[in-house]
Homo-oligomer: A and B are copies of this chain.
């Protein structure tokens, strides 16, 4: 395997584990803004160095917080402005820094880099990440429900990456799964794989038998009307990114258990999530022939 000079910049526990995995593969790995995390790679003493010393910079997912103002670096002792990073990127250009990788990279930063790749637009990451997300979603149901998943009637709203992986996992564990979807293609996939399906219009009727409800669609699917159709003792787990697809206030007021489960890969499987990012980084290097 070809060896690269890589800096892992900021990020959560996945970035820590990623830097370890890349170092174990023999790459020349540095980190910045991963203080006191016990990772094995060398640390850069300052931001500028982290860009100069490497050909590939792997930033966090998502790259920034506070509306793109600061780097997403929960382990760092102080906040790092994205503008400071853009400056470091600009200054490193005469050197041979080639590629910036990260999730939802701020445009200010993209404009200073010769090449960049946004992880959150990549299909391979979405597919691979759907596995820890689905397992985390299953784990929550196992922890919360007083009966087995086998035999439980479950609903999955949405047949995207997460929805389809979750529906298959629940079916494999023995739940009786129904998928709510919209497109003829999605109904066809359900039918071809032997998964029950319904339209969103049919949900009020379908919910009469459902004990475990997952939402993966980033729209307010479960407003007051649909929440009124949810059986008592049911559990709703919302996997859609903020603000999610549930009216949580209405659910709370009506004693319907609803959990907003975000960023499951990093929480339930930090090493597994880092392995996934590593694979996608290698895919990118391979595709770009770097």
List A122-166 residues whose CB lies under 8 Å from chain B.
122-125, 127-128, 130-132, 135-136, 138-139, 142-143, 145-151, 165
Q: Which residues of B contact A275 (CB under 8 A)?
A: 147
Q: Which residues of B contact A268 (CB under 8 A)?
A: 142
Q: Which residues of B contact A184 (CB under 8 A)?
A: 122-124, 280, 283, 286-287
Q: Which residues of B contact A191 (CB under 8 A)?
A: 127-128, 151, 279
Q: A288 to B81, alpha carbons, bound, how many Å?
A: 51
List A185-199 residues whose CB lies under 8 Å from chain B.
185, 187-189, 191-194
Q: A229 to B35, alpha carbons, bound, how many Å?
A: 35
Inter-subunit contact A148/B187 (CB<8 Å): no
Q: How many residues belonging to A are interface residues under a CB distance threshold of 8 Å?
A: 49
Judged by a CB distance under 8 angstroms, whether A236 is at the interface is no
Q: A188 to B184, alpha carbons, bound, how many Å?
A: 24
- The residue of chain B having its C-beta at the shortest distance from the C-beta of A128 within the complex is B188
Inter-subunit contact A173/B165 (CB<8 Å): no
- The residue of chain B having its C-beta at the shortest distance from the C-beta of A152 within the complex is B272
Chain B proximity of A38: nearest CB distance (Å): 14
Cross-chain contact of A185 among B127, B148, B189 (Cβ < 8 A): B127
Q: A124 to B191, alpha carbons, bound, how many Å?
A: 10
